[in-house]
Amino acid sequence: MQMNYNESQTRKNLMRAFAGECQSRQRYYQAALIAQQQKLIGLERMFRFTAEQEERHAMVFWKLMKAGSGSTVDISAGFPADVFDEIQQLLDASANEEDKEFSKVYPDFARIAREEGFTEAAEKFSMIAEIENIHRARFQYYAGLYKADMLFRSNDTEQCWMCLNCGHIHKGSEPPAECPVCSSARGYFIREEEAAFTSCDVVG
């Protein structure tokens, strides 16, 4: 049976989740700007891409709070004050936060929502937890490449690299220092398999 929404813990947890998602979005936008300043355009896009997904998560939780419209929800919660300007710190801290959301915060919120009878909220908490795990893996992947200085290096001499500016594909263990088509710097190149909506198959 569903308990009264305004007396529920789920009401507070939805507001916590909403606040958390808005902050994640903002943190990743900040990180994107730092990557952009360092001409690491692949990382910039990755942070923006993830930031937009956090924005959508915020909207999902926002809509679930409709039953409490017109009221104010007081919450206490811990939020990360990770104001970093090093790429490695940003990637590591982001992976860490995602891991907490995936492994602890949202599973707890889902369980409480289920106990209180808020099935839809429980499902959204669980499903968004799974997405946060994908985000965790994404950040960890790039943190690993960055740490190993492999962002622009591959052990595969047949690696395809895509210029994010013009779409040029380069094959080799490293992308060129400058795109031969549009002259963009190396920071525009990503591994082709990391690019959305494309395939290396057409390149001979």
Query: Would you tell me how many other CB atoms lie within 10 Å of the CB of residue 60?
Result: 18
Minimum CB distance to Fe ion, residue 135 (Å) = 4
> 161 and 190 in contact (C-beta within 8 Å)?
yes
List the beta bridge partners of residue 160: 171
Minimum CB distance to Fe ion, residue 98 (Å) = 5
- Distance separating alpha carbons of residues 56 and 62, to the nearest angstrom: 10
Minimum CB distance to Fe ion, residue 129 (Å) = 9
- Distance separating alpha carbons of residues 123 and 78, to the nearest angstrom: 23
For the record, the structure tokens of 168 come out as 């040029």
Minimum CB distance to Fe ion, residue 62 (Å) = 13
Taken as a whole, the chain contains a residue count of 204
Residues within the interface to Fe ion (CB under 5 A): 21, 54, 57, 98, 132, 135
Closer to Fe ion by CB, 49 or 174: give it: 49
Closer to Fe ion by CB, 98 or 99: give it: 98
- Distance separating alpha carbons of residues 103 and 130, to the nearest angstrom: 9
Minimum CB distance to Fe ion, residue 128 (Å) = 6
Closer to Fe ion by CB, 16 or 170: give it: 16
Closer to Fe ion by CB, 21 or 116: give it: 21
Direct distance between the N- and C-terminal alpha carbons of the chain, in angstroms, rounded to an integer: 61
Closer to Fe ion by CB, 127 or 203: give it: 127
